[in-house]
């Protein structure tokens, strides 16, 4: 099971008593909760490559952890100590200023993109069983919103919100991504559980996980920002996966599939099919994808 599932399960246990109290008096505010309506028609989205989940994939290098070259043997049995490779370039998280603030200060215009005619990037957003795409007016500039239409607690539906912006102007992507945590840290009663500024698919990225309060509910969220360079253009791709804290265990498989199956790549030849799993290792099932709708 992925690390996020373990963290969310531990978090759910610690917050169970508080959530029970919240549900007890939430009846007067239930109408204000973001219950997502049944969509009359499906919303267009982006067709991308099929997600392949490789068992025993190598873990990414942690932030600030230098790679170490293996020791080499010299002729005559003389041992030569390994020489550490130069440390990876690290990014220091900004103490203030959201990504929007940074772009405004640099004179960079962020243009929201529409999934219907977007072809600059391939974006994989797995669609777990029981989830569907919904039009949500509460998500400005939404590229796609998917939600659990089967589970939930009657007040809040677990959902994933995807936004894509074209960034017009000159800026340093690594400097920009250092501001990736700030927006989440400004949420009411924010408590971080994990975060990283390691690259994602070779591009500058931030991912932060934690809990916050909204409409008398405690919500658990994972939020990733990626700045992708495609030819002369740059794009900001943001994914937020959020569930109520009393549903993190029930929704763990679905949220794990989205968080870990999410991919961003440049258009090009399809990715080769993965090799068969080694004997004794389980083969993970393929995940259903969003489909582009035409017409």
Q: What is the CA angle 166-50-277, rounded to 5? A: 135
pLDDT digit string, tens, across residues 9-51: 434 444 333 333 332 333 333 333 444 444 443 443 433 333 3
pLDDT digit string, tens, across residues 118-139: 999 999 999 999 999 998 778 8
pLDDT digit string, tens, across residues 220-229: 999 999 999 9
State yes or no: pLDDT of 188 exceeds 90.
Answer: yes
pLDDT at 137: 79
How is the chain split into domains, by residue range?
3-25+43-50+91-265
φ and ψ at residue 21, rounded to 5 degrees = -65, -40
pLDDT band at 260 (very low <50, low <70, confident <90, very high): very high
Distance separating alpha carbons of residues 140 and 216, to the nearest angstrom: 22
Q: What percentage of the chain carries pLDDT values higher than 70?
A: 61
φ and ψ at residue 247, rounded to 5 degrees = -115, 5
pLDDT band at 153 (very low <50, low <70, confident <90, very high): confident
pLDDT at 138: 82
Q: Are strands 79-80 and 233-244 parallel, antiparallel or unpaired?
A: unpaired
Q: Best-predicted range by mean pLDDT among 34-43, 102-111, 270-279?
A: 102-111
Tokens representing 243 are 């569930």
Tokens representing 286 are 């393929």
Domain 3-25+43-50+91-265 belongs to what topology? Protein Transport Mog1p; Chain A (3.40.1000)
pLDDT at 232: 96
Which among 216, 182, 12 is positioned nearest to 93, based on CA atoms? 182
Q: What is the CA angle 192-196-197, rounded to 5? A: 130
Distance separating alpha carbons of residues 260 and 85, to the nearest angstrom: 29
State yes or no: pLDDT of 52 exceeds 60.
Answer: no
Packing angle, helices 252-261 and 3-24, rounded to 10: 130
């Amino acid at each position: 099971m992925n690390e996020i599932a373990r963290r969310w399960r531990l978090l759910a246990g610690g917050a169970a008593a508080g959530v029970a109290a919240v549900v007890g008096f939430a009846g007067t505010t239930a109408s204000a909760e973001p219950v997502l309506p049944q969509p009359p028609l499906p919303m267009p989205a982006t067709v991308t490559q099929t997600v392949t989940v490789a068992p025993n994939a190598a873990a990414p290098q942690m932030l600030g952890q230098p790679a170490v070259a293996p020791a080499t043997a010299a002729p005559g049995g003389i041992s030569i100590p390994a020489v550490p490779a130069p440390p990876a370039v690290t990014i220091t998280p900004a103490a203030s200023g959201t990504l929007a603030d940074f772009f405004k200060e640099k004179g960079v215009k962020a243009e929201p993109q529409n999934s219907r005619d977007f072809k600059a990037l391939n974006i994989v957003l797995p669609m777990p069983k029981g989830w569907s795409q919904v039009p949500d007016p509460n998500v400005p500039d939404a590229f796609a919103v998917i939600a659990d239409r089967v589970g939930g607690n009657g007040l809040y539906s677990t959902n994933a919100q995807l936004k894509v912006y074209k960034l017009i102007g000159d800026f340093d992507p690594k400097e920009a991504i250092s501001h990736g945590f700030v927006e989440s840290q400004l949420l009411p009663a924010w408590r971080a559980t994990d975060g990283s500024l390691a690259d994602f698919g070779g591009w500058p990225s931030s991912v932060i996980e934690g809990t916050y309060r909204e409409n008398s509910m405690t919500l658990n969220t994972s939020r990733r920002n990626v700045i992708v360079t495609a030819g002369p253009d740059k794009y900001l791709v943001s994914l937020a996966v959020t569930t109520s804290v009393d549903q993190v265990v029930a929704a763990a498989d679905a949220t794990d599939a989205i968080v870990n199956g999410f991919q961003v790549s440049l258009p090009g030849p399809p990715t080769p099919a993965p090799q068969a799993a080694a004997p004794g290792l389980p083969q993970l099932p393929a995940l259903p994808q969003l489909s582009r709708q035409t017409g």
